[in-house]
Amino acid sequence: MNVLLMAYGTPYTPEEIEPYYTDIRRGRRPSEELVRELEERYHAIGKSPLNEITLVQAIRLQALLNLEAPAYPKRLLGPFGPRIPQGPARVYVGTKHWHPSIGEAIAAMHEDGVRRAVAIVAAPHYSLRSVAEYQEKVEAALKSLPEPIEMVWVESYEAHPSLIAAYARRLEEAIWRLREPRKAAYVFTAHSIPLSAVERGDPYPRQVERTAELIAKRLALPRFSVAYQSAGRTPEPWLGPDINEHLKSLREEGFEEVVVQAVGFPADHLEVYYDLDLEAQATAQEVGLRLIRARSLNADLDYIQVLKELVEAAWLR
């Protein structure tokens, strides 16, 4: 069994911020002002652990897949024998905007003789601006190979029972810290996308709302809402409500405590540490709102179990 595990990627050093930002902008070099702003954000959080978390996710997923080999049904028996992976499961890491890149990962897979693999992004919701762009990069890399690799995709898993349980477990931990849980507000966040994508039928907002609904139902929350964060620096309108504006509205409605859970981001990174822990927290303090953020899934074993279940199910298609 072979797996291509993908994540956004992040620069390792301050010197890498500008080329990283250029890659995000599809080769268009950002202005000095934009680069300086991003450098300041990274400096404010200290360091983004996203690359390290992704690597640990891959290591643990590979270990779990090799620890428990799945049963293969007879329907996989074809004219050339059963489609059973030869040797241990192997997980490759490819990032969307830095190194190891998706192209570098697929090149390594080809060198190792991989001819079939499961492709999965460490993000539960499909969007034209997220998973679809990963798919474009994978397809571009595959076209450069002398022999094909069959990719079986896990495109989304917003309602996977084990994922909902993992998120609910962390939200429950945050609830224990509330003074009055029944009077608190509960907000689920995800990365904003341009409204133009939503108008083209992007399922992303519906999937985010579905994740929020299932977590809220599991914990019998008295109320909940969805807000978006980390909108791009472009003139076009982005999906809202913005988390900071939403926090102000909650205070105006009389709420004194709020729990925020970033369901669109399994791993801690810049947009969790800066946009929520610094920026949103500052907004909350400014308006007199006590904000508690539920911890992220990161590379915890319950999230690795989610990935394992998804990968195994996809491999058997």
Residues flagged as binding site for Fe(2+): 191, 271
Angle, alpha carbons 47-53-58 (nearest 5°): 155
Q: Who's near 235: CB < 8 A, 6+ residues apart?
A: none
Element (H, E) at 228: strand 225-229
| Tokens representing residue 132 in the block | 């679809």
For the chain, helix (H) and strand (E) counts, in that order, are: 12, 10
Judged by DSSP in three states, 175 sits in helix
Angle, alpha carbons 303-305-310 (nearest 5°): 100
Q: With beta carbons less than 8 A apart as the criterion, state whether 289 and 282 touch.
A: no
Q: Which of 90, 95, 93 is nearest to 115 (CA)?
A: 90
